[in-house]
Amino acid sequence: MIDKGPNTDNMICLITGGTSGIGAAAARQLACLGTTVIIVGRNVKKCVHQVKRIKHSNPDARVDFLLADLSSQRQVRQLAREFTSRYSHLDVLINNAGAIFTKRAVSVDGLEMTFALNHLGYFLLTNLLLDRLKASTSARIINVSSSAHIQGKMNFEDLQSEHSYNCIQAYAQSKLANLLFTYALARRLEGTHVTVNALHPGIVATNFGSNDNWLKTKLRNILKRKMISPEEGAKTMVYIATSPDVECITGNYFYDCKVIRSSEESYNITNAEKLWLLSESLTGFHLESNRRDGSS
């Protein structure tokens, strides 16, 4: 169990993908530490179930939920509006929601689903909530990536996989994008009290891939000997969110509660800036212009 930090009782944490797997496990652990936890999920019944589960084991827990499908930019924006209408600040944002799709699918915005959910969801929600994060005395952004990023390559010539689709390559690219985004944002937030880090949770025995039963079975058969529990997988996430040791650490990649080096490609600043500009274009969010006009 991670030790309770001195300020966890006053912390507000928003966690996406909080209805199952490591997201739900992290929500439970954070609530036990006294943190106010807001779970984000797509399904109201699953959200209610997780809130009740936390309350059952910890009646004094401060936990709520917000609904959003993070592959939809309209719903991401609505989520940000709902959060800002309820809370004056945000101490911890955990971008955790993600999926893998065996067949190419497109989001309601016409974008390849893996890229839309796993990367653009992180990018847009984080930028929309930056003002609330900066209103905290010390805020932390946590992006859940994966060791799969090592196999990733940013295919800027076919970013949406329109000409050729491979689910593993699309997923690896999205996880690499998480790291490029993390490091680019850390550079932009230098001199502020907002840190941003990424992590690999380990190979976790969750319902990941459950949107495709064949994939779920195949992944479990391949990886079952290496799998850890959701509670174990959530430890690094909770550590980065609460540990005083991480307070001033930013722009890093964690595994097993330790900073490790990510792939060489993840440190490619040229690709990171190219991805940032493309992400601004695809979401219609431009950080500097929003700073000037105060819009979201």
Tens digit of each residue's pLDDT (9 = 90 or more) over 172-186: 999 999 999 999 999
At 146 the pLDDT is: 96
Q: Are strands 253-255 and 258-260 parallel, antiparallel or unpaired?
A: antiparallel
Per-residue pLDDT reduced to its tens digit, 246-256: 999 999 999 99
Per-residue pLDDT reduced to its tens digit, 16-58: 999 999 999 999 999 999 999 999 999 999 999 999 999 999 9
- Provide the token pair at 170: 């699309």
Residue 79 CB neighbour total at 10 angstroms: 25
d(Cα 115, Cα 111) in Å, to the nearest integer?
7
Q: Are 231 and 29 in contact (CB under 8 A)?
A: yes
The full 3-state SS of 100-136, as one line of letters, equals: CCCCCCECCCCCEHHHHHHHHHHHHHHHHCHHHHHCC
The C-alpha R_g of the chain, in whole angstroms, comes to 18
Task: Assign 25 to helix, strand or coil.
Answer: helix
Torsion angles phi and psi, residue 243, rounded to 5: -70, 130
Task: Assign 146 to helix, strand or coil.
Answer: coil
Task: Assign 241 to helix, strand or coil.
Answer: helix
- The correct CATH number of 8-291 out of 3.50.50.60, 3.30.2320.80, 3.20.20.70, 3.40.50.720 is 3.40.50.720
State yes or no: pLDDT of 224 exceeds 60: no
At 296 the pLDDT is: 43
Amino acid identity, residue 207?
N
- Provide the token pair at 67: 């609904």
CA atoms within 13 A on the CB side of 35: 29
Nearest to 119 by CA among 275, 240, 289: 275
Sketch the domain layout of the chain as residue ranges: 8-291
d(Cα 16, Cα 94) in Å, to the nearest integer?
6
- Provide the token pair at 22: 């490591």
- Give the confidence band of 10 by pLDDT, cuts at 50, 70, 90: confident
The single-letter DSSP state of residue 265 is G
Q: Could you give the residue numbers annotated as active site?
A: 171
Q: What is the pTM of this model?
A: 0.90
Rounded to a whole number of angstroms, the distance between the first and last alpha carbons of the chain is: 38
Burial class (CB in 10 A: 0-12, 13-18, 19+), 157: exposed
